[in-house]
Amino acid sequence: MSMFARTALDQQNRRVEWLVKTLFLMMTVLLIVPVVLIMGILIQRGAPVLSWGFLTEVPTNGMTAGGIFTALIGTVWIVTVALIASVPIGVAAAVYLSEYAPDNWLTRAINLAIINLAGVPSIVHALFGLGAFVVFFGFGRSILAASLTLAVMTLPIVIVATRESLQAVPHAFREACWNMGATRWQTIRKVVLPNSISGILTGVILEVSRTAGETAPIMFTGAAAFLPFLPQGVLDQTMAMSLHLYVVSTQVPNVPEALPFGVALVLISMVLVMNATSIAFRVYLRNKRKW
Amino acid sequence: MVDVAPKLSVRDLTVRYGDKTALDGISLDVLPNEIFGIIGPANSGKTSFLRALNRMEEFDTNMTVEGEILFEGQDITAVRNVYALRRKVGVVFPLPVGLPMSIYENVAFAPKLAGIKKKAQLDEIVERCLTRAALWDEVKDRLNALGSLLSGGQQQRLTIARALSQDPELLLLDEFSIAVDPVTTMRIEDVLKELKDEITIVLVTNLVQQARRLADRTAFFLESELVEIAPTEDLFTGTVKDQRTRDYVEGRFG
């Protein structure tokens, strides 16, 4: 018998190895099934209503006909204002936590608060937004109130993503800068931030996807079921894609069957296009900087 | 030698990380324009000594430093403006760190921090420092390439060029040749011998022979303590006092 012949133990290890690998592969395949199904059904049933007019016309006939223009633009408003509010706060907080904060009870309390904030259900955020922004700050039901509610809700995403990408920058780079007499801020600005920008961007894109899709928080704070015109400023109410989808799916009688699928398809496409853009941008940045 | 005012005068220096003592009550003098070697096994406190000289405890909440470090007579443990101190002290670490920016920017970084803005002046500094670090000929045609993509030996010379760009009076080298091939090591050693005319160098090394080639005097650190300081040649002629130093130099332990 050759010295490399399989023993009984080798045989058993081989079987286990095969079993484990197959099992994990099946789990992974399982993962893509819902994605393929969702996209497939949406495209199959929603594609017929898609047209240039669907994107550029306002809803008519009690939302059973026409397009989704007002909702589309409304979502762009809400997402933009939410980003303007949350990205600077989130990035600044993450930079502080990663680069400045000493490891003490306050820092730990803040980290705990961030985790908890991420775990709060969106309906609770909705009620918080209603109480805080609509009533207390007196913004009324408006884009501003809705966006700020979404900003609070999505802050943990930006903070966690930013903090992790900052910490992925090797510590040796920081020490090298400090040793040349650079202050912490000079080090952050010249070395740390430029090398973590793609990770920060990932966080922002995740946030955009989440912001564009949330329904409950904006329903209470600034999104309207139907408005025949576009918002003129941040204190106006607006329609939004996510709420529009909810309304045409459940609240309005005699909606053509394909319409909600079309709305959902456009919403998902918006998010996918933004994701693709960010991936392209990240690849571009990664090719520019390496270590 | 005795009548020269020391460049660096260390008294009762103790460094701790948390409750672990890394360096226990060291006192020594470093003279101007000498290469002062420090040898010793791992965990003997060599690196902690360098870190204290550059006030790195400011950036490590766990690290505490006690004692007195006089740099040209001024106690640096009391210096408030640590940034000015670090500009006077250049440091080179064991592993080369090419910052992820262009070769040019790597070397121009410190001068820019010091407020130099004129392109011509920066160009001159970059060329001078890269030349002194024996790297200019290899990179002069690709100064805009990323510093972090150079080979290990080139990155270490880039690191030295960067340390020189801040016009230091004191250059601290921490086992600089660990990640560098022997040929590059020799080139860097030649550079150091030339630099000695202008600046004072503290050279931590785990290579006893490197200390012999470069250092005027050498200190032997062991288990957080300074065993002794001797003219380097004495280490090899067996005229040092302490048996532990002889054993280490002759490779009987460590």
pLDDT number for residue A64:
81
pLDDT one-digit tens code per residue, A226-278 = 888 888 988 888 999 999 999 988 888 888 888 999 999 999 998 888 888 88
Residue B238 has pLDDT above 80, yes or no: no
pLDDT number for residue B123:
94
Put simply, the answer to whether B56 touches A290 (Cβ < 8 Å) is: no
What's the CA gap between B44 and B226, in Å, rounded? 9
Interface mutation target, options A105, A179, A191, chain B, most CBs of B under 10 Å: A179
Of B56, B87, B148, the CB nearest to A290: B148
What's the CA gap between A168 and A165, in Å, rounded? 5
Structural domains in chain B?
8-100+162-249 (3.40.50.300)
Q: Which of A51-65, A215-229, B118-132 has the lowest mean pLDDT?
A: A51-65
What's the CA gap between A100 and A104, in Å, rounded? 12
Burial of A118 (0-12, 13-18, 19+ CB in 10 A): middle
Mean pLDDT score, B70-88? 86
pLDDT number for residue B219:
92
Interface mutation target, options B102, B109, B169, B178, chain A, most CBs of A under 10 Å: B109
Mean pLDDT score, B204-212? 89
Of A102, A183, A190, the CB nearest to B83: A183
Confirm or reject contact between B214 and chain A (CB < 8 A). Answer: no
pLDDT number for residue A243:
92
Distances (CA, A) of B86 to A80, A133, A163, A282, B34: 44, 49, 28, 35, 20
pLDDT number for residue A216:
92
pTM recorded for the entire structure? 0.82
Confirm or reject contact between B159 and chain A (CB < 8 A). Answer: yes
pLDDT number for residue A263:
93
What's the CA gap between B120 and B104, in Å, rounded? 13
